[in-house]
Each structure stands twice: as C-alpha cells, then as structure tokens.
A and B are shown apart, each in its own frame.
Chain A
Amino acid sequence: SQTIHQWPATLVQPVGSPLSLECTVEGTSNPNLYWYRQAAGRGLQLLFYSVGIGQISSEVPQNLSASRPQDRQFILSSKKLLLSDSGFYLCAWSSQTGGGEKLFFGSGTQLSVL
C-alpha cells in the first residue's frame, strides 16, 4: 500500500532563517506531488505541484520554492523565512491520471516563524 511521510511535525524558526521540509511517498511510482498550506482560519492553498522529476509548477508567487530531486521526494524550501510564512504545511500525492484526482495527504508540518 502507498504511504506518505512528511517531517518534521512541528518547527519553530526565527525570521530570516532558512527552511527545508521534506516529503517522501512509498508504494507508488511517478506520482503527482503537491505542497499545500493552511494558514490560521483559512482553507488549503496550493503552493506547488509536480508531475515529474525536476518539473515544478508554482501557483502563488512567494518566498518559497520547491524541488523534486527524486521520483518520490518533494522538498519545500526558503532561503529567508518571513512571519507570513507561518502555517500548516501539507504534502500530498495523487496518481498520474490527469483527471478525477484524489489527493492523499501527509500528516502536516506546523511551522511557526517568530
């Protein structure tokens, strides 16, 4: 069966520090990978998605970047965190069907930028 791992679960970082969140998927190949963010009291905002190694689509211009160095690995990064980067970050995957996507989410990372 497929599983998705996301770490760390919680992170407290000072403003201006770098960020690296990692996500890996097991039990499937060539998945679509996604990074979403849930800000306090708000819905799920799509940040990045990837349909293959090295292929990254950005949905919202911001202080963050994403990379997919391996088929089942997705990394969310920042060189310098802002206060507004605080939120609950979710990694997700779906199968490559090109329609009727059902996303499967990781357990999330609660990021607090102080």
Chain B
Amino acid sequence: DQQVKQNSPSLSVQEGRISILNCDYTNSMFDYFLWYKKYPAEGPTFLISISSIKDKNEDGRFTVFLNKSAKHLSLHIVPSQPGDSAVYFCAASAHGDYKLSFGAGTTVTVRA
C-alpha cells in the first residue's frame, strides 16, 4: 500500500521559471518529510527536509511546504536550472520508525 504518493510522473519547466513538485501522504503518524534528487544510474541524494512542527523550510533555491491538515507537501525550485533535471522523490517517516517510505518519483526536465 503506497503511503506516499507523487501523482505527477513528470514535469517540464523552462529554465528560470519555478518548478513545483507535489506529494501526498496517507499515514497520519508521519512526522518527518524529505525530498531526494536522483540522476540516472546514481543513488539518490538528500535535498531538503521538514519536520511536522514546521510548515515551511527553505534552503537556497529550494523550499518545502507542509500542509498537515491536507497531508500534502510540495517542493518549490526557484529559479529552475538545467542541472535540476532529475527524478525527485518525496519520502516520509514516523517517529521511532527507522524506515523511510518513498513516493514513485517525479521526473523534472528543465528546458533551456
């Protein structure tokens, strides 16, 4: 049962514009959320995270927003750059749980 869902398998955006990636979750016990970036044939690398006590976390061009009531989070990339073209995974965990549950990923393509 998929507890973390990324319903958009792909996103195409022009360089310099904003990329918005969405993620929904069903498990109300999740209290920590992460975004990972993955290039082909490489392992995912950590991008940004947010705990459930916050509703926004910002790191440079990347901002994650959390809406607990809607069980929804989003990742904003501003401005988008060609190097941002990759697969982005949303992940979540519950306190006391050693595991991360991942979404299916969204492939972002940044057009020049």
Interface residues, chain A, with chain B CB atoms under 8 Å away: 6, 9, 32, 34, 36, 42-46, 49, 51, 59, 88, 90, 92, 94, 98-108, 110
Contacts and interface: CB of A to CB of B under 8 A. Distances in A.
B93 A100 contact: yes
Chain B CB within 10 A, most for which of A42, A44, A104: A44
B43 A46 contact: no
A49 B89 contact: no
A102 B31 CA distance: 13
Nearest to A44: B102
Interface string B36-74: 100001111110010100000000000000000000000
A100 B95 CA distance: 7
Given A99-B97, A100-B32, A44 B89 contact: yes
A93 to B, nearest CB: 11
Interface in B69-111: 89, 91, 93-105
Given A99-B93, A100-B32, A102-B49, A49 B43 contact: no
B34 interface: yes
A94 B44 contact: no
B100 A107 contact: no
Contact of B105 (A43, A46, A102, A108): A43
Contacts of B93: 99-101
A94 B41 CA distance: 21
B98 to A, nearest CB: 5
Given A43-B89, A101-B93, 7 more contacts: A43-B6, A44-B44, A44-B102, A46-B101, A99-B95, A100-B51, A103-B91
B99 A108 contact: no
Nearest to B93: A101
Q: Which of B41, B100, B105 has the most CB of A within 10 A?
A: B100
Contacts of A98: 95-96, 98
